Amino acid sequence: MIRGDGIRRNIAQVDADEVAALIDAIKQLNVRRYRGSRDELPVGGVSLWFKQDEIHQATHVHDGPEFLPWHRELCNRFEHLIRSVDPRLSLHYWDWTTDPSPLFAPNGPWGSKTGDVGEPWLGAGFYKPDADPFRGKQITDVKNANPFDPPRALTREVEEGAPQLAFADDDIIGSPDYRSMRIKLESSHDGAHGYIGGTIGNAHTSFRDPFVFLLHSNADRLVAMWQYADPAQRLNPITVYGDDPEFPVWFGRTLNPWDGQGRTRPWVAPEFEREVKDYRHPSVVEPPLYDTLPQAGDGQAATQKVEELRHLLEDPAVRRAARSFTPT
């Protein structure tokens, strides 16, 4: 296991020094801030960590075909942020077929599994019980909705034993098409959120707990394994999503808020650091490296296929064809 090789691994198998470095990097994101100040509109000065909660609340991309690739983009961008602190780090995953108890206090590094999560997150300002002003828990609490402010609580209610989820990983990976895969996977994902409970159990607050990124890295790992099961079709931006009569041509939409639509800085004024791309962009379709993906044989062939497709899509004519493509 080599730190810096870019591979996302099972967090339970990552050595303690690297886990400590990952946690330290996440804590550093709550020290670093975007430009601007709390009282500006749109709000500025938000920490890089609290920005993740702001992004998730501003979009709520769930219950549809965009769910998986949108969260891949979110995780990829978060991994880029932690690598801005330590370039050798990767966004490892929690295998949700296993009991995560060893990861939590008193012997694990991720805080308590029940009640207030405590350290290392309390001292790092990820929540402040006496905060005023503070970030509220309810979507209807518009008075306490400034993403600059810390929440007053960060909790978990992890159940005993391993999660009992709706679908086995093999059922998800073995799905014949994107539509059936994403329906199964989102169902198991929802169950994993409920299993952790507390802050993560609430879709409106889940991205206030750093452990949520380990959960979503695992969800993306299963997508990647499904893609590698048929790389010729599933690593191809034109064919990966297949046909979904319920949501025709959804993949032509652009990824928000990074496309500058909405009110989330720095992708809107005054920074305008927007990046407009749709769900067929190679950076969205191409999976990150995971330790459960084939690294030889078919794996090399799949990686080569991605490189070929990336160069192909640099052709403006091909990109226009992809935009107008409708699966049959």
What residues pair up with 156 in beta bridges, in sequence order? 115
111 vs 120: CA distance, rounded Å: 6
Residue at 168: amino acid letter? A
∠ CA 319-314-173 to the nearest 5 degrees?
A: 75
Q: How high is the pLDDT of residue 44?
A: 98
Looking at residue 324, its pLDDT comes to: 40
pLDDT per residue as tens, the chain (328 positions): 788 999 999 999 999 999 999 999 999 999 999 999 999 999 999 999 999 999 998 888 888 999 999 999 999 999 999 999 999 999 999 999 999 999 998 988 999 999 999 999 999 999 999 999 999 998 888 899 999 999 999 999 999 999 999 999 999 999 999 999 999 999 999 999 999 999 999 989 999 999 999 999 999 999 999 999 999 999 999 999 999 988 989 999 999 999 999 999 999 999 999 999 999 999 999 999 999 998 633 445 555 555 655 555 555 554 454 444 333 3
Q: Which residues, at least 6 apart from 320, have a Cβ–Cβ distance to it below 8 Å? A: none
Phi, psi of 208 (to 5 degrees): -95, -15
Q: Read off the pLDDT of residues 13-67 as tens digits, 9 standing for 90 and up.
A: 999 999 999 999 999 999 999 999 999 999 999 999 999 999 998 888 888 999 9
**Residue 108: strand, helix, or coil:** coil
pLDDT of residue 316: 56
Domains in the chain with CATH codes: 7-324 (1.10.1280.10)
**Cα dist. 62→13, 96, 317, 327 in Å?**
30, 19, 32, 22
Q: How many Cα atoms occupy the beta-carbon half-sphere of 138 within 13 Å?
A: 4
Look at residue 201 in the predicted model and tell me its pLDDT: 97
Sign of the alpha-carbon dihedral angle for 185, 58, 111, 4: positive
Query: β-pairing, 289-290 with 7-8?
Result: parallel
Cβ contact 84:91 at 8 Å: no
User: How high is the pLDDT of residue 60?
Assistant: 80
Reply yes or no: is the peptide bond before residue 163 cis, omega within 30 of 0: no
Q: What are phi and psi of 278, to 5 degrees?
A: -100, -175
**DSSP state letter for 14:** S
